[in-house]
Structure 1
């Protein structure tokens, strides 16, 4: 059934360096209100069979791997059972292309993980060309705070490239994942997708197309649309404005005293405050000549990210 589904696509178990078993993680995922998770242990598929036993009862399990190379990590999502993607190389070896092709041949997607992670091999040195999405929000180092400088840098880098990417007709969506290793981390943050159904092909297609937004927790809900006349496009969509005025609208729940901002190729173009209850609807007007795309950010009272969306493209 088509709808919005919440999921965490960067999860570690005892099969690499996590502290929880797949069964414990599956229980935590259901408790956190997630509809899907991806198994992404480092450089191994040894957890795949165990994870397959946890699927069902409203939880989709996407088979994957965190490919931990010498000069950056990336997520191979949607690979086959027991399939391993090689990791023994760095950016100067020029060997990543065939590995991306391997994932794409199975119908999977490749995600650049935590591009500004502050540890050896964590910083992403590869070009984004060939990757399907960028993990701009990673929760591993945010146990005390939901947002940090590494995520801010990843978001800024991705945001700066959107205008050129939209202009050439192929932009890379943003995703957010917990990178859970410890109990209590799963789902903080996670990605909410508009998919044709709760299946691996449908969820990966939604992630690839950018029909998604990132939530800091299950208590946060965002609706983001752009409307011109009788036509409306949701996040990740393209609105044919036909020269008409565009009304951009965000509806937010779960961010008390928060702030909503709209962003285009000109940077932040509109700000509004949410109520003490965290509810609000924000509108802003523009045109396709004034904005090639619009995306939204929602920050809490401290200025930390609570949610962010992929863009709606205006044509």
Structure 2
């Protein structure tokens, strides 16, 4: 449910953060303090088109806070995140849609063991609207908090989330679906961890966190106050978010534990459509390749959403 452990367990993080070394107002030390106060276990440094300054983050992380080196690759036809870069590695941002330089940049990030994330696909400013094909990336940022720190959900997030949801079934059937991420895109004080991605990783390390994000073993929360556990059971087997459940053709029983969302509105999504949550809900395995849930406030704002449990 999000408890802290050095070994296998759930870890909370924010993978889109800016400091004074690009266009943020907080120093690395202030960001680290804010991360700890927000209940985060890991933080990705994603300055615009520059590598983390040498020594700027030295001694700031620790056993309780992992710092991941990264970059926001800021182009004229959209932004994307390169997570898990080598120290000092700088990704070329001088590329546009359809250019080989874009594909080469993706290859360089992956060769370093990193993750390529489509950032805020529908951001409301010049160059922020992503024109690169979503299928080029490993994951998609469907929830970005930069413009919504007081109400962490808006029409741009709704559009990104809907686009991701519409593409999910085809991706699962093709064997190449893209997990959803949620990040604060922090530039100002008070934004960090709103929202945040909660991942199940084998340990609190850069390779383990990136592997969990890549596999979709994660869900998104509006803050550390939200706790969620979603599982599916069939034919004596059980699976969680991002895992595959062999159903044996039997009906799938869904279980949800949720806290921190007053008067929640929960909906179950499959490729056959969506339905309101009911305790002990059972779905038929035939006709759908996945099941996921989203939790909203009564006014429609998102509070949490999961990546899918895959059914076979």
**CA distance 1:46–1:196, change in 2 (3 Å):** closer
8 Å contact 1:180–1:186 — kept in the other structure? yes
Q: Which moved more, 1:221-230 or 1:29-38?
A: 221-230
Q: Which moved more, 1:297-306 or 1:33-42?
A: 297-306
Spell out the pairing of 1:48-127 with structure 2 (5 A cutoff).
Answer: 49-127=55-133
User: What's the CA shift string for 1:81-125, capped at 9, x where partnerless?
Assistant: 011001112114342100000000011100000000010010010
* 1:305 pairs with 2:302: yes
SS at match of 2:163: helix
Distance 1:31 1:225 in 2: 29
- The CA distance in 1 between the partners of 2:21 and 2:188, in whole Å, is 13
In the alignment, the residues of structure 2 paired with residue 300 and residue 195 of structure 1 have an alpha-carbon distance, to the nearest angstrom, of 28
Larger deviation, residues 159-168 vs 46-55: 46-55
Structure 2 counterpart SS, 1:158: helix
Of 20, 33, 41 in structure 2, the residue corresponding to residue 27 of structure 1 is: 33
Query: What secondary structure does 1:27 align onto?
Result: helix
User: Which sits farther off after the overlay, 298-307 or 111-120?
Assistant: 298-307
Map 1:280-295 to 2 at 5 A.
Answer: 282-295=279-292
1:266 aligns with 2:272: yes
Q: Which runs of 5+ in 1 are unaligned?
A: 273-281
Report deviation, 1:48: 5.3
Preserved contact between residue 148 and residue 154 of structure 2 (Cα < 8 Å): yes
In structure 2, what is the equivalent of residue 238 of structure 1? 244
Are the equivalent residues in 2 in contact too, given 1:138–1:176 (CA < 8 A)? Answer: yes
Q: Using the TM superposition, give the Cα deviation of residue 287 of structure 1 relative to its aligned residue in structure 2, in angstroms.
A: 2.3
Give the match for residue 262 of structure 2: 256
Q: Contact between 1:249 and 1:283, CA under 8 Å: does it hold in 2?
A: yes
Give the deviation of 1:233 after TM superposition.
Answer: 0.5
1:93-242 correspondence to structure 2 within 5 Å: 93-242=99-248
Alpha-carbon distance in 2 for matches of 1:88, 1:234: 40
Residue 270 of structure 1 and its aligned partner are, at CA, apart by: 2.9
Paired with 2:247 and 2:12, the residues of 1 have a C-alpha distance of 30
Counterpart CA distance in 2 for 1:41 and 1:137 is: 19
Structure 2 segments unaligned to the other structure (5+ residues): 1-6
Provide the alpha-carbon RMSD of the alignment.
1.1
Q: Distance in 2 between matches of 1:53 and 1:65?
A: 20
Q: Helix, strand or coil: the match of 1:51?
A: coil
- Whether the 8 Å CA contact 2:232–2:239 is kept in 1: the answer is yes
Normalising by structure 1, report the TM-score. Answer: 0.95
Could you tell me whether the CA contact under 8 Å between 1:135 and 1:175 is conserved in 2? yes
Measured in 2, the distance between the counterparts of 1:258 and 1:146 equals 16
Q: Which runs of 4+ in 1 moved over 4 A?
A: none
TM-score of the pair, normalised by structure 2? 0.96
The C-alpha deviation readout for 1:271-304, integer Å capped at 9, x for no partner, is 35xxxxxxxxx43211221321101000012210
> How far off its partner does 1:143 sit?
2.3
Q: Deviations over 1:65-90 (max 9, x none)?
A: 00001101000000000110011121
Query: Contact conserved, 1:5 with 1:35, CA < 8 A, in 2?
Result: yes
